[in-house]
Structure 1
Amino acid sequence: MKQIVMTSALLAFLPWGAEAAEGRLLATGGATTTEGAAGGGLVPWAVISGYTEDDEMGGTVALTRAQVDDYRLDVTAASFSYKNRFEISIAAQQFTLENLGAELRQQVFGMKYRVAGDLIYTAMPQVSVGALYKRNTRYDIPELVGSQRENDWEAYIAASKVWLAGPLDRTWLANVTVRATRANQFGLLGFGGDLNDSYDVRVEAATGVFLHRSLAIGLEYRQKPNNLSFAREDDAMSAFIAWFPSKRVALVGAFLDLGSIAGADNQTGYYLNLQASF
């Protein structure tokens, strides 16, 4: 499968507020992050992938491409969900250092469980807990720059809420995720470093608004640790537009600002994500 206009993790904003036909509302399964979990492009949300409910099973497959000035990330991901309660996911990442003619590879395995609340129908936000296991399959460059380990676990808790009749009579969404991590550049440069080798607690957030029942725009922000002395690591931000023409397909595009990556400053660009749900 070749990457077609892949999108780097969908900052998908679910057109919720729109059609409720047959079960869950359109887009309530979110998009696919670059790490494979359901949510936006940069941030896992409390949503569960697909459109499952009751005793149903489902999931997603997704392709993503993120391109900034000196680097490119390609991701192939898939997820499986059960009863709108439990999700498992897998993602294969290929990070190309175009200025060096080299590449990094990482596998990400994820689990997420909805513990309380509902995205739309309860006053309490939907709350989910999740864990990610990340494994570098090409570790020579991360080790060279001071990474302390080639694989590691991350844990997070996310809270998401949708308001169907929010300001300006639009549907709005907000998400906050708190993650324990020691990843360098999302784990692509390994975990821990000479500056810090302990878990840091970092905050991630997303907000969006529905322009149409199948079209939304929004922002995501993700804090990152700074573990390596050879180069600082900046937080990541994106501004996205997400289109959900049906419950089967989602397409997300975004402007990315990743700051400094491995000593290369002002890394800005785009990402695209194409997701199929079943």
Structure 2
Amino acid sequence: MPRLAALLISAATLGMPAFAQPGGGKLLLTGGVSSIDGAAGGGLTPWAVTGSYASAGQLGATAFVTRVQTGDYGLITYGAALGLHDRVELSLARQDFDTRGNLAPLGLDGLHLKQDIAGLKLRVAGDAVLDSDTLMPQVAFGVESKRSDTGNLGPTLYGALGAKRSGTDLYVSATKLFLAEGVLVNLTLRSTQANQNGLLGFGGAQGAGRRWQPEISLAKLLRRDLAVGLEFRAKPDNLNASVLGTGALKEDDWKDIFIAWAPNKHVSLTAAWVDLGRIAPALQPRRQRGSYLSLQLAL
């Protein structure tokens, strides 16, 4: 994390590009919002777009805070990102997952699972807006370096369950904007070993290596400042067959239905209904459904 923070500062000063101007750059909402991992895209998955409204020759910055509330758990994540020349995105995010009383039988009442995420995204082909009248999507490659802090759960998670403290996700995203129809489609393929996005470490139990998991977003612009859509994110389910018994730590795919509003290029607000499936070991095993609310500020 310190190394990427230094890189963010260096990139911001190198060549001194101009900051994105409120009246210029991208169209409203075409830069996406901030995902829970810090990268620009939807709430659950990155897109090929780079964050902020910076275009060629400009530097843009975003900051965000997100709250997810389900029946048994709560998550707060916050972070910031830099967009350089509409080509490169650098991001940092911090996640804090509140288990509340669900781990009390294990002597872990009120445990918080935390994670730091450093991201880099590079646009390699296409332009979502300029190529909107062709079949060419915008394509980007990304990497997310993650390190989890599981507190007193660590000895069990990293010992008996065989997970690791840190891991790296690699992904490729293709984003296609049909401007005339006001429709955006995104497909992301992620190579990952993360358990519950990394909050429960990486790999373990079944001994499986990296897996490519699909992530899909579909959005419809109702008007220039308002969009609705849905997302799906597949998960690797590494801990399903563990020493705790098959299914005790089963991991389900994530999905949401969202609405995003951007009154101007400085502020956007995203609200969603989320279904995160089972997040063991809840006292009453059930699907974790609830609300998602995210505020993003852009410069």
CA distance in structure 1 between the aligned counterparts of 2:197 and 2:184, rounded to whole angstroms: 25
* Match in the other structure for 2:49: 47
1:197 to partner: Cα distance: 3.5
The alignment status of 1:256 with 2:258, answered yes or no, reads no
CA distance in structure 2 between the aligned counterparts of 1:151 and 1:94, rounded to whole angstroms: 16
* Match in the other structure for 1:153: 168
Picking from 36, 55, 61, the partner of 1:59 is: 61
Preserved contact between residue 111 and residue 151 of structure 2 (Cα < 8 Å): no
Preserved contact between residue 141 and residue 189 of structure 1 (Cα < 8 Å): no
1:21 to partner: Cα distance: 4.5
Q: Structure 2: any 5+ residue segments left out of the alignment?
A: 1-21, 103-109, 242-247
Preserved contact between residue 147 and residue 189 of structure 1 (Cα < 8 Å): no
The alignment status of 1:276 with 2:291, answered yes or no, reads no
Preserved contact between residue 71 and residue 99 of structure 1 (Cα < 8 Å): no
Preserved contact between residue 150 and residue 200 of structure 2 (Cα < 8 Å): no
Taking the TM superposition and a 5 Å limit, the aligned residue runs for 1:1-278 are 21-100=23-102, 101-122=110-131, 123=134, 124-145=136-157, 146-166=161-181, 171-228=182-239, 229=241, 230-263=248-281, 264-278=285-299
CA distance in structure 2 between the aligned counterparts of 1:163 and 1:143, rounded to whole angstroms: 50
CA distance in structure 2 between the aligned counterparts of 1:125 and 1:161, rounded to whole angstroms: 4
CA distance in structure 2 between the aligned counterparts of 1:272 and 1:43, rounded to whole angstroms: 15
CA distance in structure 2 between the aligned counterparts of 1:127 and 1:259, rounded to whole angstroms: 30
CA distance in structure 2 between the aligned counterparts of 1:250 and 1:189, rounded to whole angstroms: 30
RMSD value, Cα: 1.4
Preserved contact between residue 162 and residue 172 of structure 1 (Cα < 8 Å): yes
Preserved contact between residue 26 and residue 244 of structure 1 (Cα < 8 Å): yes
CA distance in structure 1 between the aligned counterparts of 2:61 and 2:121, rounded to whole angstroms: 13
Change (3 A) 1:255 1:203: same
Change (3 A) 1:265 1:147: farther
The residue type equivalent to 1:114 in the other structure is R
CA distance in structure 2 between the aligned counterparts of 1:111 and 1:211, rounded to whole angstroms: 31
Preserved contact between residue 147 and residue 190 of structure 1 (Cα < 8 Å): no
What TM-score do the two structures reach when normalised by structure 2? 0.83
1:193 to partner: Cα distance: 1.5
Preserved contact between residue 279 and residue 288 of structure 2 (Cα < 8 Å): yes
Preserved contact between residue 29 and residue 49 of structure 1 (Cα < 8 Å): yes
Q: Percent identity?
A: 42
Preserved contact between residue 267 and residue 297 of structure 2 (Cα < 8 Å): yes
CA distance in structure 2 between the aligned counterparts of 1:180 and 1:126, rounded to whole angstroms: 20
Deviations 1:179-228 (A, max 9, x none): 00010000000000111331011000000111111111100000001111
**RCO higher in structure (CA 8 A, sep ≥6):** 1
Q: Secondary structure at the match of 1:144?
A: helix
Preserved contact between residue 192 and residue 198 of structure 1 (Cα < 8 Å): yes
1:262 to partner: Cα distance: 1.3
1:265 to partner: Cα distance: 2.0
The residue type equivalent to 2:269 in the other structure is L
The residue type equivalent to 2:266 in the other structure is R
Q: Secondary structure at the match of 1:105?
A: strand
1:59 to partner: Cα distance: 1.4
Q: How many residues align?
A: 255
CA distance in structure 1 between the aligned counterparts of 2:218 and 2:56, rounded to whole angstroms: 28
1:142 to partner: Cα distance: 5.0
Deviations 1:87-120 (A, max 9, x none): 0000010000023321111000000000000112
Deviations 1:48-82 (A, max 9, x none): 00011122111100000001111110011100110
The residue type equivalent to 1:25 in the other structure is L
